[in-house]
Amino acid sequence: MKGSANWLRYLVSTVVIALAVFLLVDTRTPDPQDPFINGHIKSAIMLNTSIDKNKRAALYNTRLLQALGDDHHSTTEVYNAYGKFDYWDSLSQGNIDIIVTDSIPEGYEGTTIRSVPVQGEYWVTDSRNTRLLNSANMWLNYFLASRDNKLLVAKYLTSYSIYPQAKEYIGNGERISPYDAIVKKYGKYIGWDWRLLSSVVYQESRFMMGVEYKNAVGLMQVKQSTADFYGVEDVYDPELNIRAGALHLQRLAKMFGEQGLDSINVIKFSLAAYNAGEGRIEDCMNIAAERGLDPNNWDDVVNVFQYMSNFSGEITKRYVQDILDRYQRYCIIAE
């Protein structure tokens, strides 16, 4: 009996050690014989990027190819080759390693082989280069299951809009977007109706995580400097992006609330400051006061926009009204 117990302890110890060794192995370290290692990877994107979906797919695959190069200590070169059929000949001649496409032109099916699916597209290589494709497939199978890939998918490919899917969401009487749970969480945290916060998210990004504009990214168009201020590290994570935007709205609402504004004006001025910047909105409030208007009343302050230099006040005015109008609609379709 004692011998059996010792044997069992030995077996458990062996399994634990083996598991520890396995976990310590860097699965992203390429085989020295890998055809991608220490090289220069040339690729062509064969997608019509005039279509928004394909544009985002092209950006996503470009980042994938760059990650492939990084993991293999190789440089990468990616061409936009849509409509340039000579690139297919370059593939067979060995001048291009990979073509990213959603279809193979007639006449090239028999001379090419394609990878595992990559979010609806494929990486295609010359049919004689099975070693290269096998290496690409091995790396893709690893990377596509990684957190890094989830972030890339969220950044470039996740796209939701309330209007094309309105029937689906109105039908169940609850949902506004696939991010409802996150928005509810942070709406409750900052004391805002989650449907109002959802309206802000839609206004900023149309529920598209991959939107980037003037260094602002994601669902709530958050700049990295703003995220850093609130201790948020990853603006490409949907939840953290919403968290940073919600915390910023919370700070703005607190600031305007302390100035004695009523609740509806706190919301309006906070939205305006989120769009145009708090300094610019405070300048407008000061000018309103100088002109004998109520600086704490949004309807009075918008009347001085015309006197502001380097400020498109009408855009901010419309921004605030659009969010509030949409909020009313959201209140009808979701509880």
Together in a domain, 280 and 323? yes
Are 45 and 100 a contacting pair, CB within 8 Å? yes
What pLDDT does residue 175 have? Answer: 79
Please indicate, yes or no, if residue 312 is contained in any of the structural domains: yes
Q: Are residues 206 and 260 in the same domain?
A: yes
Q: Could you say which of 106, 129, 157 is where a domain stops? A: 157
* One domain, residues 115 and 45: yes
Has residue 322 been placed in a domain? yes
279 domain-assigned: yes
Secondary structure (3-state) at 231:
coil
Query: What is the bridge-based pairing of β-strands 122-126 and 112-114?
Result: antiparallel
Looking at the fold, whether 110 and 249 belong to one and the same domain comes out as no
pLDDT of residue 32: 58
Note down the domain range covering 328: 166-333
Provide DSSP, 264-325. HHHHHHHHHHHHH-HHHHHHHHHHHHHTTS-TT-HHHHGGGGGG-TT--HHHHHHHHHHHHH
Contact between residue 137 and residue 116 where contact means Cβ atoms under 8 Å apart: yes
pLDDT of amino acid 291: 94
CATH assignment at residue 220: 1.10.530.10
185/317 same-domain check: yes
Residues contacting 329, CB < 8 A, separation 6+: none
Domain count along the chain: 2
120 and 188 share one domain: no
Residues 145 and 279 in one domain: no
Distance CA 201, CA 209 (A): 10
Which backbone phi and psi does 219 adopt, to 5 degrees? -60, -40
Residue 235 lies in a domain: yes
DSSP 81-148: -TT-THHHHHHHTTS-SEEEESS--TT-GGGEEE-S-BTTBEEEEETT-HHHHHHHHHHHHHHTTSHH
Residue 29 lies in a domain: no
Pick from 157, 189, 205: which residue ends a domain? 157
Question: Mean pLDDT per 10-residue run, the chain (335 residues)?
Answer: 48 44 44 77 90 84 93 92 87 92 88 91 92 92 88 69 38 72 95 95 90 87 92 89 96 96 95 95 95 95 89 90 92 81
175 and 149 together in one domain: no
Residue 31 has what DSSP assignment? Answer: P
Let me know if residue 26 belongs to a domain. Answer: no
Backbone angles phi, psi at 72, to 5 degrees: -110, 10
Domain boundary among 102, 129, 157: 157
